[in-house]
């Protein structure tokens, strides 16, 4: 059988991209846009990311600003563009359409209304709302891997959480912070304002009045990276972040926040996928202020956990 000319393949790819863009513009709700490439059979799904507040909802599995994506030669649909003033019918704020690269089997969990987990003997039910909050309202693999790591570390006595002051950044659904509380920590779970409603609902649903001793150890608060950090005057014992390294524009404020919330004894655990060079560059930038080491790599889920401890003069 004769192979398809490369020029024809390129034309097919360009046409597929145009189809994607037409669907994105014509329906501003969040939905799956299947634009499968012949090489990877991966698909693209649109997600609303707030232009002004892009770090909302940590976890943006393979999300990035579309203007960055055009520089990646190995990604199809390179002609995707940013729509700066698109308004979603579900939000009055300006939105930016970001592309999320998935294998189709990865999409299904995000569409579930809820997901159930058990860590440290505690059953946790997480409400998800992908249609309204997008990346802020689903459980990402990096969060699951970090929960597994916390549970294992406490069991092996390599990490102490009892009565430790813990803060989770960009918590999204709050799974990681809740498990940290189950393991003994006094936890502040933080995210941007738009994500706090569902975050609080998840906490309230999972810690009833019969578990008051646990509920009293969990507090939900707004934290905008790099702003109003004086509201957190004391360093924490443990700082947690799951899939918060994915939008380059937020990196300076994230670094500023990590520096402010820590001292020489603070342990920072960042669970993430290293998808692009900018992600690796951020990890490298941490080394100016922290001793950084990779403490776990989950090959099945391609998730890494980095441990950082602030560099201090002796």
User: Can you tell me the mean pLDDT for 45-63?
Assistant: 39
Distance, CA of 274 to CA of 267 (rounded, Å): 21
Distance CA 272, CA 104 (A): 20
Q: Are strands 267-272 and 290-298 parallel, antiparallel or unpaired?
A: unpaired
DSSP assigned state of 214: H
Structure tokens at 218: 């969990």
Q: What is the per-residue pLDDT for 135? A: 79
Instruction: Look up the pTM and report it.
Output: 0.72
Comparison of pLDDT for 67 and 137, the residue scoring more: 137
Contacting residues for 104 by C-beta, under 8 A, at least 6 apart: 34, 43
Q: What percent of the chain has pLDDT over 70?
A: 65
User: Which band of pLDDT confidence, cut at 50, 70 and 90, is reported for residue 51?
Assistant: very low
Q: Which CATH class is domain 111-310?
A: alpha beta
70/304: higher pLDDT: 304
Looking at residue 46, what is its pLDDT? 38
> Domain coordinates of the chain in residue numbers?
6-109, 111-310
SS3 label, residue 269: strand
d(CA 86, CA 254): 27
Beta-bridge mates of residue 258: none
pLDDT digits 0-9 by tens, 90-121 = 333 333 333 445 566 677 788 888 999 999 99
Radius of gyration of the chain (CA): 20
CB 68 within 8 A of CB 56: no
Q: Are 219 and 231 in contact (CB under 8 A)?
A: no
At 272, the pLDDT band (50, 70, 90 cuts) reads very high
Name the residue among 286, 234, 282 with its Cα closest to residue 261.
234
Region 223-230 average pLDDT? 95
Q: Which residues pair with 96 in a beta bridge?
A: 49
Residue 253 pLDDT > 90 = yes
d(CA 280, CA 276): 7
Ramachandran assignment for 32, one of left (phi > 0), alpha (psi -120 to 50 degrees), beta (any other) = beta
Model pLDDT, residue 267: 98
Query: 218: which residues sit within 8 A by CB, 6+ positions away?
Result: 177, 178, 181, 187, 189, 203, 207
- The answer to whether residue 4 scores a pLDDT higher than 80 is no
- With bands split at pLDDT 50, 70 and 90, how would you rate the model's confidence at 10? low
User: Do the beta carbons of residue 151 and residue 182 sit within 8 Å?
Assistant: no
Taking phi first (over 0 means left), then psi (-120 to 50 degrees means alpha), and beta for anything else, what does residue 226 get? left
Using alpha carbons, list the distances in angstroms from residue 170 to 1, 17, 97: 52, 31, 20
Give the pLDDT confidence score for residue 101 in this predicted structure. 54
- pLDDT tens digits for 62-95? 333 333 333 333 333 322 222 222 222 333 333 3
Q: How confident is the model at residue 177 (pLDDT cuts 50, 70, 90)?
A: very high
Average pLDDT, integer, range 162-171? 97
Output the pLDDT for position 172: 93
Given this model, what pLDDT does residue 289 score? 97
Q: Which of 26-35, 109-118, 183-192, 201-210 is the most confident on average?
A: 183-192
* Nearest residue to 50 via CA among 141, 151, 132, 129: 132
Q: Is the pLDDT of residue 1 over 60?
A: no
């Amino acid at each position: 059988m004769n192979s398809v000319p490369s020029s024809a393949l390129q034309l097919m790819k360009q046409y597929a991209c145009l189809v994607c863009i037409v669907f994105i513009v014509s329906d501003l709700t969040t939905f799956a846009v299947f634009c499968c490439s012949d090489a990877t059979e991966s698909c693209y799904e649109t997600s609303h990311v707030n232009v002004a507040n892009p770090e909302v909802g940590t976890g943006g599995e393979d999300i990035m600003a579309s203007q960055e994506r055009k520089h990646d030669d190995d990604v199809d649909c390179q002609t995707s563009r940013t729509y700066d003033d698109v308004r979603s019918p579900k939000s009055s704020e300006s939105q930016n359409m970001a592309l999320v690269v998935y294998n189709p089997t990865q999409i299904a969990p995000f569409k579930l209304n809820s997901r159930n987990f058990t860590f440290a003997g505690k059953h946790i039910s997480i409400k998800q709302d992908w249609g309204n909050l997008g990346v802020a309202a689903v459980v990402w693999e990096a969060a699951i891997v970090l929960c597994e790591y916390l549970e294992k570390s406490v069991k092996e006595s390599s990490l102490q959480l009892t009565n430790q002051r813990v803060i989770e950044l960009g918590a999204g659904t709050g799974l990681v912070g809740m498990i940290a509380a189950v393991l003994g920590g006094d936890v502040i779970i933080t995210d941007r304002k738009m994500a706090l409603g569902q975050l609080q609902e998840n906490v309230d649903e999972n810690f009833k009045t019969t578990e008051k001793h646990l509920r009293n150890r969990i507090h939900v608060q707004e934290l905008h990276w790099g702003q109003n950090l004086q509201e957190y005057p004391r360093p924490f014992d443990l700082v947690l972040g799951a899939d918060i390294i994915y939008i380059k524009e937020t990196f300076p404020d994230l670094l500023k926040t990590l520096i402010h919330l820590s001292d020489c004894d603070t342990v920072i655990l960042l669970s993430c996928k290293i998808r692009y060079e900018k992600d690796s560059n951020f990890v490298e930038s941490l080394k100016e202020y922290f001793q950084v080491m990779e403490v776990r790599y989950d090959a099945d889920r391609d998730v890494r956990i980095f441990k950082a401890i602030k560099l201090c003069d002796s």
